[in-house]
Copies of this chain bind each other. A is one copy, B any other.
Amino acid sequence: MGKAPVCAAVDWGTTNFRLWLMDVDGSVLAARQSAEGVRACLPDRFATVVEKHLETLHTPADLPVIVAGMAGARGAWQEARYLETPARLDALHEQAVRASRLPRDVAILPGVCQREKGREDVMRGEETQLAGASAQGMRAGVFCLPGTHSKWAWLEGGRLSDFRTFMTGELFALLSEHSVLSEMVAEGEGATSSASFTEAVSEMLASGAGLTGRLFSIRAAALVGSETAPDARARLSGLLIGAEVAAMREVLEVEPRVRLIANGPQAHAYEAALSLAGIQADILDGMDLVRQGLHQAALALWPERSSV
């Protein structure tokens, strides 16, 4: 038993599409991945993209599909309105929207928002990773989810109580591609193990203010031609990640331990920066978590599938 799929789970981000067929125990039976992100997808194409991948996997016509991520944004597949904090992570499915006019059942999970004036914030996709963590017993604590828009999230008793977004990844892209720093940063290796990275993080931790007053030093260091010019790319990365960690350290002082949902070089960079700030990081795999979150929601939505 346990080899029949109970659902197709889809994580649909801005630039990536991922689909898994999962059995009742949460194991992956088959997987698909492509660059058909939400940004590249016209509103009337979402169903076609999913069906194409399901067909490739010879999926039964009645298998339900559960979706998380930007596919639920306004103007994407179908809007799944934001829940508000504090949000019960085991109840995301209760606010799922059903994609209309489809032969099979498709449920799109909502994102979560915060409305407090001056602290407005939104997420789509990360809440499902956090639901997966909560389902695995991590029902409280602080989570760091690096990315284009890095998220820091607080869980309390299985609820997402608060979160905050940092534009770290987007600023890195803007500054390295379109700014007066581009030329320097293009040449750097960006090794987050380098002294340049460590020094930049340490500068930001010593004085969390003044990011905008340090960025230009990357250009100036190249212009004044010092023999030991730092690795510009690593320095930019260090200044931006350092600014993020420095801002969060203020808030975290009583709980200097976070769960870091990341992998590869990004996980190493954040782990190093957190460590410099005296914060211990437990690294988790985001792909695994989002699957668990989707699986939990699917079983709640379609309990009859558990006995397939």
Name A's B-contacting residues (CB within 8 A).
74, 82, 113-115, 117-122, 149, 164-168, 170-171, 174-175, 178-180, 199, 203, 207-213, 215-217, 219-221, 223-224, 226, 228, 240, 243-244, 246-248, 250
Contact = CB atoms under 8 A, between A and B. Distances in A.
A172 to B, nearest CB: 10
A218 to B, nearest CB: 8
B207 A250 contact: yes
Given A119-B217, A122-B224, A210-B250, 15 more contacts: A74-B223, A113-B223, A120-B217, A120-B223, A120-B224, A121-B217, A165-B213, A167-B180, A174-B178, A207-B247, A207-B250, A209-B246, A211-B212, A211-B243, A213-B244
A212 B171 contact: yes
Contacts of A179: 167, 170, 174
A100 B207 CA distance: 47
Nearest to A165: B216
With most chain B CB atoms within 10 A of its CB, the pick from A117, A120, A164, A174 is A120
24 contacts: A82-B223, A115-B224, A117-B226, A117-B228, A118-B199, A119-B217, A120-B217, A122-B219, A122-B224, A149-B180, A165-B216, A165-B217, A168-B212, A171-B212, A171-B215, A174-B175, A174-B178, A178-B178, A207-B247, A208-B208, A209-B209, A209-B250, A212-B244, A213-B247
